[in-house]
Structure formats: structure tokens, C-alpha cells
């Protein structure tokens, strides 16, 4: 039986990351699906490394990992007072914030830990209490993430067709969160409600999150899954084999434009051309109202080796030019609805995001 760090077990309890007495344990997503192995990070530097090397990836999972990284940094400090720890705390947060630039959940989680620390400092809390509170805040972020995914599933599952193909891109599943998933959570909920869905998973070149991770976790759950190469979606849509698209997001701007895995924009354009609904599922922590439009979202450029090589084998001629942006931006006009744990948002997104934010605060 697989248990997460709060002792829960349910169908699809993929152990993406879990707090242990020694540190944070991560399933190694670079090894899946061929090998289910784990990496233990016992320091905040190691947490930063597992984020950079994609042992853990996916916007919500990165945010939770960073929160645990901050807590680990506090637990390992040799400082004797919160005041003495304060400059080290800043360095810990800066190191974790420097890992990946696009997913806003990372910065959201670190900011939440920073606010808590500032509050504890102001209240004259002891260092022992600071350590305990930072760890319990990280646990809270972890638990809230699972709850948000379940709620998104409940809202979004009803939007999917009773039967037919649903396309997803990249991995926005249990492996990208603390369990259940955002886009894949919506699919899971629909399947749990008896909908007869066949998932088409784009392979998602170059890192193959779809072929390796989405396919693996849906197969673990017994969900009907077919992997397609990224260039096959148009043909399947034209043939009527895809009834809806659901993807995750790394950052949603104030106007509803959003960044997600490279290739998402292509899928959105194809969906519109074929009259297929295109849904985005993301927790509220992915919405960044401080970023006005998609043009303002920083896009991570990753190593050319991810494109030139696969499985240690060279695919391209020596010296050829390589471009490897990890994400693209899809304009809001392609989005049928944004599914969040607060509710389902519809266009115009500037208004619906602002309204929902005001209601929930």
C-alpha cells in the first residue's frame, strides 16, 4: 500500500513527494516509467537540485517541494535564534526561488513561507517554534494541494463528455501535484462518475512527460489511455476522435492567458479550429494577478541536450542550432473555461478572475 506523508491512501496514491523524518522523499520522475525509484533530499540544497533536475516537476509539486525545502533549511540550521537565522532564511528562499522561472506556484509557496517567518519574527517566537511552524505550514500547503485537486475534479469532471476521447498534453496529474492531479484529476473524477473516457496523451517532446508520466500514472489507475505523437492531434480531431481537451497550467496571467508545457498553444489552436472545448485546470495558486498578460510570463529555456539526445543517444547532427523553450503561452481567447478549486471561470477572464478573487478573500 502506498501512503503519503499525511497517511492517506486511495486509488492513485502516487507517492510524488512525502515528508519523512529524514527529509523529503521524491519519486524519481526522470526514471519513470521503466523504474520506480526514490530520491531522499535531506537538505534544502538537495531539494533545489531535485527541482532543477526534474526529479520532481509540475507547477503545484514544485511549489510544495519548495515549501518543504524552506522547512528543511530551518530544521538544519545551526543558528540559535530566529534573528540569527534570518539572513540564512533569505538565502534558502533565494536558492529555491532560483530553480525554475515559469511556474508561479514556486514563488507563491516561498512567499507564503516568508510571510509566516516575518510574522513569527515580529511576534518574538522561539527558534524551536519557528521550525515547527514552518514545517506545519509546508504540511498545510501539501494537504491543501490534494484537496484543491479533488475539488477541481468535482467541478471539472461534469464538463467532460459522457464518452469519447479527451486529449491532454504534458503531465498535469498526480505526479505534478501531491496526488490526484489537476487536468488528470478532472479526468479521474469523470471516470469515477462512470464516464467512458479514452485519454489521448500527447507524448510531449522533448522531455516526454505525456508518454512516460501521464501514460504511467493513468495505467496505474486502469484508465483507458492511448499515447500519440505530438503531431497526430490534428488528424485525430478531424476524425472526430477527440471530444475535449484538458490541460494544466504553470502560470495564468490576470487576463486569462496562460503558460503551460511547450506545444499546448498548438493544441489550443487545433481545438478551436475543430470546435472542440479546451479546458485549463489549475489551483488558485497558479493564477498570478501581478502578471497582466501572457507576454509578461518568463519562459524557461532548457538545455539543448534534451532535444539533441534521447536516452543517451544523439539524434541530431553535431553543431546544429537548437531551440528548447520549456513552455509556451496560450492566449485566453482559446480557453473554453478555467477550472479552479474556487469554481469554473469563463471569459472574459479579467473580470471572472477579479470577481472570484474578491469573493474568496
Residue 248 CB-density burial (10 A; 0-12 exposed, 13-18 middle, 19+ buried): buried
Q: What's the angle, vertex CA 202, arms to CA 2 and CA 265, rounded to 5?
A: 120
Q: Rule CB under 6 A: which of 8-37 touch ligand MRU? A: none
Distances (CA, A) of 238 to 77, 169, 231, 257: 58, 18, 13, 26
Considering only residues 58, 82, 101, 179, which one is a binding residue for ligand MRU as defined by CB under 6 A? 58
In angstroms, the Cα distances linking 214 to 2, 105, 170, 219, 345 are 18, 20, 7, 8, 25
* Site for ligand MRU contains 209 (CB under 6 A): yes
Give the nearest distance from C-beta 239 to ligand MRU in angstroms. 25
Rounded least distance, CB 252 to ligand MRU, Å: 11
Closer residue to ligand MRU in complex, CB, 60/294: 60
| Total site size for ligand MRU, rule CB under 6 A | 17
Give 200's strand partners: 167, 226
Is residue 57 a contact point for ligand MRU (CB under 6 A)? Answer: yes
Rule CB under 6 A: is residue 65 a binding residue for ligand MRU? no
Nearer to ligand MRU, 244 or 326 (CB): 326
Segment near ligand MRU (CB under 6 A); pick from 11-19, 54-62, 191-199, 271-279: 54-62
Which residue from 48, 166, 170, 339 is in contact with ligand MRU, where contact means CB under 6 A?
170
- Chain-centroid distance of CA 215 in Å reads 16
User: Do residues 117 and 107 lie in contact, with contact meaning Cβ atoms separated by under 8 Å?
Assistant: no
| Total H helices, total E strands in the chain | 11, 16
How far apart CA 117 and CA 63 sit, in angstroms, is 17
- Using the minimum distance from each CB to ligand MRU, give the nearer residue, 172 or 245: 172
Instruction: Look up residue 295 and give its DSSP letter.
Output: G
Shortest gap between Cβ of 141 and ligand MRU (angstroms)?
A: 15
Which of the following is catalytic: 145, 221, 250, 257? 250
Set of cell numbers at residue 114: 516568508
Give the cell for residue 271.
Answer: 481545438
Grid cell at residue 135: 514545517
Find out whether 65 and 17 touch, Cβ atoms under 8 Å: yes
Separation between Cα atoms, residue 225 and residue 189, nearest integer Å: 15
Query: Is residue 285 a contact point for ligand MRU (CB under 6 A)?
Result: no
Nearest residue to ligand MRU, using CB?
Answer: 248
Whether the CB-CB separation of 213 and 255 falls below 8 Å is answered with no
Q: Which is nearer to ligand MRU, 135 or 201 (CB)?
A: 201
DSSP string of 330-355, one letter each residue? E-GGG-SEEEETTEEE-SSHHHHHHH
Beta strands in 99-195 (DSSP E): 163-168
Is 250 known to be catalytic? Answer: yes
* Rounded least distance, CB 67 to ligand MRU, Å: 16
Position 182 contacts ligand MRU (CB under 6 A)? yes
Confirm or reject binding of residue 60 to ligand MRU (CB under 6 A): yes
Least separation in angstroms between CB 75 and ligand MRU: 26
**By CB under 6 A, is residue 63 in contact with ligand MRU?**
no
Residue of the chain from 14, 47, 59, 242 that contacts ligand MRU (CB under 6 A): 59
Residue 176 makes contact with ligand MRU by CB under 6 A: yes
**Cell reading at 317:** 547532427
Q: How far is the CB of 118 from ligand MRU (least distance, A)?
A: 28
Q: Which of residues 238-267 bind ligand MRU (CB under 6 A)?
A: 248-250, 260-261
Site string for ligand MRU, 289-328 (x = CB under 6 A): -------------------------------------x--
Residue pair 66/285 in contact (Cβ under 8 Å)? The answer is no
Bridge-based pairing of strands 251-253 and 278-281 is unpaired
Which C-beta is closer to ligand MRU: that of 72 or that of 175? 175
Which residues are the active-site residues? Answer: 250
The residue ranges that bind ligand MRU (CB under 6 A) are 57-60, 103, 170, 172, 176-177, 182, 209, 248-250, 260-261, 326
Amino acid at each position: 500500500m502506498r501512503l503519503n506523508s499525511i497517511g492517506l491512501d486511495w486509488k492513485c496514491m502516487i507517492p510524488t513527494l512525502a515528508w519523512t523524518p529524514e527529509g523529503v522523499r521524491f519519486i524519481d520522475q526522470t526514471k519513470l516509467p521503466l523504474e520506480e525509484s526514490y530520491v531522499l533530499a535531506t537538505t534544502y540544497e538537495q531539494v533545489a537540485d531535485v527541482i532543477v533536475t526534474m526529479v520532481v516537476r509540475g507547477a503545484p509539486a514544485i511549489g510544495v517541494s519548495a515549501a518543504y525545502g524552506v522547512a528543511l533549511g530551518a530544521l538544519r540550521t545551526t543558528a540559535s535564534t530566529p534573528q540569527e537565522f534570518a539572513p540564512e532564511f533569505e538565502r534558502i528562499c533565494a536558492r529555491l526561488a532560483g530553480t525554475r522561472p515559469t511556474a508561479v506556484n514556486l514563488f507563491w509557496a516561498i512567499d507564503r513561507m516568508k510571510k509566516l517567518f516575518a510574522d513569527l519574527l515580529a511576534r518574538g517566537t522561539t527558534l524551536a517554534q519557528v521550525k515547527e511552524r514552518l514545517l506545519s505550514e509546508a504540511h498545510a500547503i501539501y494537504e491543501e494541494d490534494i484537496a484543491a485537486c479533488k475539488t477541481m475534479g468535482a467541478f471539472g469532471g461534469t464538463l467532460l463528455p459522457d464518452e469519447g476521447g479527451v486529449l491532454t498534453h504534458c503531465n498535469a496529474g498526480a505526479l505534478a501535484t501531491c496526488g490526484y492531479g489537476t487536468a488528470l484529476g478532472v479526468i479521474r473524477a469523470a471516470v469515477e462518475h462512470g464516464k467512458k473516457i479514452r485519454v489521448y496523451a500527447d507524448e510531449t517532446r522533448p522531455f516526454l512527460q505525456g508518454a512516460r508520466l501521464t501514460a504511467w500514472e493513468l495505467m496505474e489507475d486502469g484508465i483507458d489511455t492511448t499515447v500519440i505523437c505530438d503531431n497526430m492531434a490534428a488528424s485525430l480531431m478531424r476524425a472526430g476522435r477527440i471530444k475535449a481537451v484538458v490541460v494544466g497550467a504553470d502560470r495564468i496571467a490576470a487576463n486569462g492567458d496562460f503558460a503551460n508545457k511547450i506545444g499546448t498553444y498548438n493544441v489550443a489552436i487545433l481545438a478551436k479550429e475543430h470546435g472542440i472545448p479546451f479546458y485549463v485546470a489549475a489551483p488558485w495558486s497558479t493564477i498570478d494577478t501581478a502578471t497582466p498578460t501572457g507576454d509578461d510570463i518568463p519562459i524557461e529555456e532548457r538545455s539543448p541536450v534534451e532535444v539533441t539526445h534521447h536516452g543517451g543517444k544523439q539524434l541530431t547532427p553535431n553543431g546544429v542550432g537548437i531551440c528548447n523553450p520549456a513552455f509556451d503561452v496560450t492566449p485566453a481567447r482559446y480557453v473554453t473555461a478555467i477550472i479552479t478549486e474556487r469554481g469554473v471561470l469563463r471569459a472574459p477572464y479579467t473580470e471572472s478572475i477579479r470577481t472570484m478573487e474578491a469573493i474568496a478573500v
